[in-house]
Structure 1
């Protein structure tokens, strides 16, 4: 079987992290987010993965070629000169997708879940339809595209984009199965699977909903990235608790890379991820945050509800909170307060930020 991962966007919602690395390579719980998908596909039996890429595509290609060899799968690159839209990205990759008669998976690159591919493909074949959408429950459906479908049959009737009034909390989870007949609907011009193809399929009653169990998150923006981290760490606690750190100073679910170093009298957790070669000095407090690789958090600092980028240097007695996101190589001088700061790469911060603010 084949799968195509749509990874051609600029990742604007996750800036400043995506200014120096394509979003699919941004680590989520110490692994590039797209690698969760590729490993799950390979484990299911998919032998050919196509990456539809555009922005920083060479970096993505190099890293995923190494993973493809490790997983013993074929990796192909479909490169867009500029982002085309989800449907036209499929059209550009048609040469790979039309080989054979088997249905193929389509995934958006920033979705993290348990990926029940075996159950989903069985459902798709039983329904003998053109396409199956994985749907999940959303806490805030007004921010999403709501899927209205028959609960007994799974047939999708219509979509409601970001409804003002409650109609359902079933939303598109961001991955699909397509039969090869879908290729006849494609055009090599900017078009969207979700906004143009799916409504047409629903009219033809060729579109079905597969209900996901367990957690599912689009982690493509900071708030959802942090929420998804807490959900994924809880999943690890239930499925493979030995991966989590249970040391003095930790509280709740904490994931620490083996190369990281943590000082004395620290308070770490819950919902904390510490990346490779990170140094946490003494008396540091970390809560609901991710510290990406090669960063240094100096003594007596407190990081809460934030993402600290690669190679950052956080001074002593610094407090960073309120969904702040620091890009690559940001330095924060001693005794500063940062609230809701979005700080672009290679900046040195010498004054506190008391209100949400972007520093370019």
Structure 2
């Protein structure tokens, strides 16, 4: 019988412990939490395991390998998007055609799984939910069963007024393959929220097994500490590593290779990892990881220390968590309930007041007294800005407090009296963050012109056309509802340069803010006639008369984005029949998962065919990109869309040169050159494409974004639709005809995990190997007669991208596999 371990969680509530680690890899009793789950499974005969990965999958895969070192066999399944618990398990359905067990990787339990399976089989259940009784059920899904064990009711995370039981869902399930009938492929679906209620509604045999034994969901730092305390009290059957030494208070476990100068200062139960050195220190009811050093005179009380921690003499640590590779200086005091995340240095004589958290990679200067959290978050652990502005988890990493500081830094950078245009998408969280930014800008004496909810092209146009000193735009990630992006524009409406970002970053971290006098605090206004000016400029760039006389019918999906507040009035001037979908702004729906986006394109395709329109187009929520379906229902690839847009504008006589990223396919390059269009190569960074496109007639990112430099020098999906209509109107042709000679295949692409410290070595070896045939616009691009292979290090993640584009599929696959094999061998 197989078992499935759900190991894809982000562990957001466990931050800062999970900033650098996926939650299943967080040390618990000196071993990753998931390792304890694997031990429990093996104890009950489950040695054939499927591990479902999503967040930071390589940290888990590299530690556990194929499972042989742990006495099990592991098959990994990695989800490319958040499909929910049931949807993620559904990815492994081909391997789960018999009864199987599902368990979360981030719980602490010693529940008897054998009895749970036995109960399931005796009751001939389609699904059995293992249940536990808890004192506080508010954070869990409550389940009610009848006297025979049938589940009769669910309630997810109730308020106290809704609590009708203390029996909760443990996240351990025994399932029959018949459940696949209710789990559609590639759809987001949760076990407790979706699947089990559906089984209940369909009168499927759904049972609850109330299991004796210990169970705790380690969902936050308080529960993490509590569970450690339960281990020391012997409440949970958990295998302790090392040699057990009795008679000293209670029990001490000492790992292999560790050296303890004296046990006189030990009290209560203590667990010590491998190769750790402890001098004559006081240690009470604590966990100390591998390769740690605790000097004589230190005092560790009721705390958890991870691997590689150094505690100098005189330091006192009370009821705290100290994460990997932290250095605690001499005479430091952690007063209690402190968390110090990975790679921090706490200087000599410093004091961390109760409940203070220090996030990763921070240095507390000697003699400091820290009274509030030092939180700069994972998104800018290496730098504040990423390749796409500032990106972070909404209201966790990108908070109102952080945005107020950011507004101060940007305002200080621009100077008192500057004019900044601000904009956002339609979600309430973006409104909240933008208002905090405005407050910071005004405190630096900046005049704010607030566009409120506006598409990106309009905001860029406003900065460029109305003498703005700069702009700032708050937008949720289009594919991840948790993430928010803050974009900054210079006075031309372009993205800031890396030099400008660096200057703002230094002001932010040093908090060197220029504060305006109370009578010189900035103002906030609503700029007049921005929309009207954009509309007039837009229409003046097109042959509106030709479009009006064309009689073209088309479908447009507005993606619930802010362009719907602007574009319908502009498109109304064309006098065409336009069928609109999702034509209202809704910040909650504007974020689409990859699965949602595929569904939207399929729906558009079906509608275009059924209505007999000339084409259909999805305009993304920010108004920058377009995705096209022709009248035959073909969803045009990014390569084909680019070829059509560039080729048609060239034939209209207004385009003779184009800027393309180096990831453009070999077939697209040849097609464009055959049209007589000059190709200028650029890096894949959006701001670089925008900047370089000013030197050519157009630019394209091969991801649906187009720049028509003679009109507006930045991405504008609305203008792209206008030029597409103009081309069809003037030529009298449709897309089915125009696409006949265009290439359709996008380049093949894979990602390879690569540690930050290895990237330079890999790229150097690639450069040395292909120095005679390579191009170095970005990464290393090996040119061959029939195509290319490109190795490109990711700017923001420990990942290498490999692109392969050749004239035949077989050749493309072979060269991609060769490159992957070569790089993996180098990393080994």
Q: Same fold (TM over 0.5)?
A: yes
Cα deviation, residue 227, structure 1 = 0.6
Give the match for residue 181 of structure 2.
184
Secondary structure (helix, strand or coil) at the match of 1:277 reads coil
Q: 1:245 maps to what in 2?
A: 252
Equivalent-residue separation in structure 1 for 2:301 and 2:45 (angstroms)? 38
Q: Take 1:237 and 1:285, find their aligned partners in 2: how far apart are those partners?
A: 27
How does 1:191-340 map onto structure 2 within 5 Å?
A: 191-203=189-201, 204=203, 206-235=205-234, 242=244, 244-245=251-252, 247-264=263-280, 266-270=281-285, 272-338=286-352, 339-340=354-355
Tell me what 1:358 maps to: 375
Once the two structures are overlaid, the 10-residue window that deviates more, 244-253 or 338-347, is 244-253
* Alpha-carbon offset, residue 145 of structure 1: 1.8
Q: Does residue 137 of structure 2 align to residue 141 of structure 1? A: yes
Q: Could you tell me how far apart the structure 2 residues matched to 1:61 and 1:337 are? A: 38
My pick for the range that moved more, 68-77 or 178-187, is: 68-77
- Cα 1:237–1:45, aligned 2, differ >3 Å: closer, same or farther? closer
- The superposition leaves residues 180-222 of structure 1 with CA deviations (integer Å, 9 ceiling, x where unpaired) of 1112111221111111112223342522222222321112321
Say which SS state the counterpart of residue 18 (structure 1) adopts. Answer: coil
Asked if 1:28 corresponds to 2:28, the answer is yes
In the alignment, structure 2 segments of 5+ residues that lack a partner are 246-250, 254-262, 378-828
Counterpart selection for 2:113 from 113, 117, 121: 117
1:321 to partner: Cα distance:
4.3
Cα gap change, 1:359 to 1:336, in 2 (>3 Å): farther
Bigger shift: residues 299-308 or 235-244: 235-244
SS, match of residue 37 in structure 2: helix
- 1:305 Cα deviation from its structure 2 partner: 2.4
Q: Which residue of 2 aligns with 1:349?
A: 364
CA displacement, residues 229-267 of structure 1 (integer Å, 9 cap, x when unaligned): 111222379887937418322222211124222221x33
Between the aligned partners of 1:189 and 1:304, the Cα distance in structure 2 is 46
- How many residue pairs match? The answer is 353
1:276-316 CA distances to partner (integer Å, 9 max, x unpaired)? 11111122222222100011111222222221111100112
How far apart are the structure 2 equivalents of 1:8 and 1:238? 25
User: Following TM superposition, by how much is the alpha carbon of 1:319 offset from its aligned partner in structure 2, in angstroms?
Assistant: 2.1
- Name the stretch that deviates more: 278-287 or 328-337: 278-287
* Matches of 1:236 and 1:281, distance apart in 2: 31
> Counterpart in 2 of 1:80?
79
Give yes or no for contact 2:310–2:327 (8 Å, CA) kept in 1. yes
More helix by share: 2
Question: Once structures 1 and 2 are overlaid, which stretch shifts more, 43-52 or 24-33?
Answer: 43-52
Give the structure with higher Rg (CA).
2
2:154, 2:45 → 1: CA distance?
32
Distance 2:238 2:65 in 1: 29
Aligned match for 2:148, one of 144, 148, 153: 153
1:175 and 1:232 mapped to 2: Cα distance? 21
Q: Which moved more, 1:140-149 or 1:120-129?
A: 140-149
Q: Is the 8 A contact 2:9 2:24 kept in 1?
A: no
RMSD between aligned residues = 2.2
CA shift at 1:356, angstroms?
4.9
Deviation, structure 1 residue 76: 0.9
CA distance in 2, matches of 1:353, 1:138: 36
Residues of 1 paired with 2:51 and 2:16: CA distance? 23
| Per-residue deviation, 1:71 | 3.7
Deviations 1:91-130 (A, max 9, x none): 11212212xx3x1111111011113111111111111111
CA contact (8 A) 1:146 1:163 kept: no
Structure 1, unaligned runs of 5 or more: none
Higher relative contact order, structure no. (Cα contacts within 8 Å, ≥ 6 residues apart):
1
